[in-house]
Amino acid sequence: MRPDAVITIDPGAGDMLAIAGGAYRILLSGAQTNGACAIIDMMVPPNGGPGPHAHKDIQESFYVLDGEVVFRTETQTYTARKGAFINIPFGGAVHNFKNESAAPAHLLCIVTPAGMDEMFKEIGKPIAAGATPPPPVPPTPEVLARMKMLGDKYGQEFFPADYFKK
């Protein structure tokens, strides 16, 4: 692909992955931006969302398209509703989000530089466009070991689910 080529993505196109109970669609990958950024469309069901994690070399931003999610960091808890924007700057702030409502939430996630998209491809399970992902299950020791290995590979650190309850 030429670096100056315009990229168009049809509805339902792009890699669809089941991750953390949600359906994540990679709209723009690092392969398409020469590693500059990636954009991920996230459908987060009730009780869905990733556990606490940090990535010091990635800036991650979220725009809430619909519904609401609760974002947590070591310094704040914020209920992000439709139209809200959250920025996790470079530096490694531990954070997570969870849909604590009874309705699905829809987020647009932008990561700079790219890389998280590749990690999602390795962590997630491919699903068909529009498919409902399986509900999250508690990770087995094997899954935790794989997550640690992938976290090390992609510069992401994972923390226990109860990290913010301490």
Tens of pLDDT, residues 38-92: 999 999 999 999 999 999 999 999 999 999 999 999 999 999 999 999 999 999 9
Q: Is residue 10 part of a domain?
A: no
pLDDT at residue 132 in the model: 86
Contacts 24+ apart (CB under 8 A), 75-83: 77/164
Q: Is residue 57 part of a domain?
A: yes
CA angle 134, 138, 143 (to 5 degrees): 95
How many domains does the structure of the chain reveal? 1
The rounded percent of the chain whose pLDDT value lies above 90 is: 81
The arithmetic mean of pLDDT across residues 134-142, rounded, is 82
Where residue 70 sits, what CATH number does that domain have?
2.60.120.10
Query: Residue 151 in 3-state DSSP?
Result: helix
Q: Is residue 103 part of a domain?
A: yes
Task: Please provide the average confidence, as pLDDT, over all residues in the chain.
Answer: 93
Domain residues for the domain of 49 are 15-127+137-161
136 confidence band (pLDDT: 50, 70, 90): confident
CA angle 123, 129, 135 (to 5 degrees): 50
135 confidence band (pLDDT: 50, 70, 90): confident
Q: Is residue 166 part of a domain?
A: no
Q: Is residue 8 part of a domain?
A: no
Q: Is residue 43 part of a domain?
A: yes
Q: How far apart are CA 10 and CA 118, in angstroms?
A: 20
Q: Is residue 81 part of a domain?
A: yes
Residue with tokens 């604590």, as numbered in its chain: 100
Q: Is residue 3 part of a domain?
A: no
Q: Tell me whether strands 15-19 and 125-126 are parallel, antiparallel or unpaired.
A: antiparallel
The arithmetic mean of pLDDT across residues 129-158, rounded, is 88
The arithmetic mean of pLDDT across residues 103-111, rounded, is 97
Q: Amino acid identity, residue 40?
A: I
pLDDT at residue 140 in the model: 84
